[in-house]
Structure 1
Amino acid sequence: MMFEVKTVKETFGIIEDNFSDYDLDGEWVGIHEALDRVVCKDIIANEDMPPFNRSSVDGYCVVAADTFGVSEAMPAQLKLVGEVGMGEKPGFAIKRGESAYVPTGGQLPSGADAMVMMEYSEDFKDGDIFLNKPAAPGNHIVYKGDDVKEGTLVIKKGRRLRAQDIAILAGLGYEKVKVYKKLKIGIISTGDEVIGIGDKPEGAQIRDINTYSIDSLSKKMGMEPVRFGIVKDVYDDIEKVVNESLESCDITVVSGGSSVGTKDVTVKVIESLGKPGVLLHGIAVKPGKPTILGKAKGKAVIGLPGHPASAFMIFQVFVSRLAKTMEKSGDGLHPFVEATVDINYPSNNGREEYLAVSLREGKDRCIASPVFGKSGMISLMTQADGFVHISRGSEGLNKGQKVKVNLF
């Protein structure tokens, strides 16, 4: 396939067209293990929450009409008929002219339709309580089903579960939830010059950085990485390992070998694996223009640039989009902050750019500073807190311009 550069929008479209119907199995997990997992079926409330009318304050339940017009000078005098213990069902009802103590979270006796906070009560006298604050019906009461109604949609299919989602599942009594299995991602580093991190470089050799950055990013995104090690730039060797990865993994990432040149074997390997083969070779983006995306045996194969900084950025933008598409979690909202650029930054026309920036607190705003360095330097990423997307055709950023910084 020729080196046909695609736009970012076209690349996202290719991902959607080819991988949105990926068949990922589901599994049941305990909710204590479900954080950051993607729900594979709608979850419907099987009961009301709360299951009874409860007080949201510490105080006295009343029939609201008994408190209309009261004040400190003219309090309501009500007969105290009981006290509700936490976790207890009241064994009495409230009628006009009566009141009872109810703690925060306690169940309201039938007949009561409001609560008066304890600080608006006065001393008892002959079994009566004096309340000096009027209450409207429903004051400080959480009614049965106010939080969640039985039969309503609680969590939609495709939601990546957060701590608050786990909390509502616990409240409804769900001990287990069905989620998609974690995507397995095979990681392969290629290059005659690449050596293990425990080896000492000689001559023009470099340690394998990409395996470990991709492994870490994969885990952060909820995937299960499988490391296949370092492979020399030999067609047969790369083909063999890619096939091994395709047998057990949903996504295979090959770093290195994606540039157009004599050593470019990744494209040939992907094409040899079956239709449709290479879907794109090149994205109009900086960094990472020579990125490859292919599909073989129904699975995704990606060729990342060998430069660690480029591979890191492309993974953040495009592989994360691919993973969300395959696990049907949607695009979602990438964590971001708004910041002000502190210098003028000219950008390349014709290519979208993902600019690494560092963040610092200003007097009344967050300040974003572009991180400068020579191409491919991984130290740029360690200095950066996130990246700014500069659209295609833009002349760049102006000092003082407000930007959206996607956080790493």
Structure 2
Amino acid sequence: MAAVVLAALALSLGPLGTPSSPAGTPLPPDRLRQEATGALESTRAVSVHVRVREGRHTVEASAGEAALGTGRPVPNGAHFRAASVTKSFVAATVLQLAAERRLSPHDTVERWLPGLVQGHGNDGSRITIRHLLQHTSGLHDYDSTELTGRTAPEFERRRFDHIATERLVAAALRHAPDFPPADPADPEPRWNYSNTGYHLLGAVIEKVTGRPWAEEVEDRIVRRLGLRGTRVPGDDPSLPKPYAHTYHRFAGSARYTDTTVRNMAWAGTAGALVSTSRDLDRFFTALLTGELLPPRELAAMRTTVPSNEEHQRFTPGLRYGLGLMRQPLPCGGSRWGHHGDLEGTFVRTGFTADGRRSVVVTVNGRTTDDTQLLTAEKALQGLIDRMLCRR
């Protein structure tokens, strides 16, 4: 775990621009190594990998080990489960369909999925696609650990199970809504993160296009941008090589469980994507600079509402657009991106509004302890802020 490695350093090919530095200089490799090591110590994780880009400069560094007890560093171009970062890919796909006038964000769920969202106070005729994209539908968020396991022995028994997303949606709809769908005129509507809504968006994509959502994401984004390390794995439980192992300390366990190999088909449009740091950088940069969406749809995606108190505790100032997160930068302006969390791993991204500066952080080694999670979150948020605000 003491191993620290500089993964890559590319030469400058163009001018830079950031909120605090209109003409910055390349990040020194030693500085990023120090940041990775500090993040490893603060998070008490197994490994940390950081990728920072300024214009065309790219520097990567890692700390810790790719597999416990081996001393091997996190490899260059490591694949990882992007978890909820998947939502930004799905939202961009939905908004492309809106730009093509094949659907409207104001369409109701009932229009595209008649009879699916009903009962226990749930009403698909009152919930729009925009509500689903922005987590303002009020739909209850399912607890996936009820099916995937809350303890290490349960996880080991269920890690290869195929769990249909329909089961998760049905489980969520057995609950009453957390609140009524947002009023379009309310500038600060009630908000609650709901994976359930993104599973419904996957079903809408399939109803509109007649194709699986994964194929639409592949054709519209992955292949178009040349994201060679990004895919939807389906029932394949493995990660493509190279990769670093993920580890989770479940409640009641004093030891890490290796969670790397598992069936993630259940996560679907809410979090199934496998990707790399380079690919996430390419995707969000293309998204924010208008390469994937026309101006109207991009503006809609970047129109945000405040998150709820629970999320504010971990990520102060967090506002949510349509599948896109926004947070204030201490040097002025905002950073954009999306977070991903899964048993064993954190994925954190941060991009300046113009896409000129970016940070992608992956951390392997996670716990269920709330205090430690908060400490880790503060460390990761601070790292991203320092990199984006670097003078």
Which structure has the higher relative contact order (CA within 8 Å, separation 6+)? 2
TM-score normalised by L of structure 1: 0.22
The structure in which a higher percent of residues are strand is 1
Higher helix share: 2
Higher Cα Rg, which structure: 1
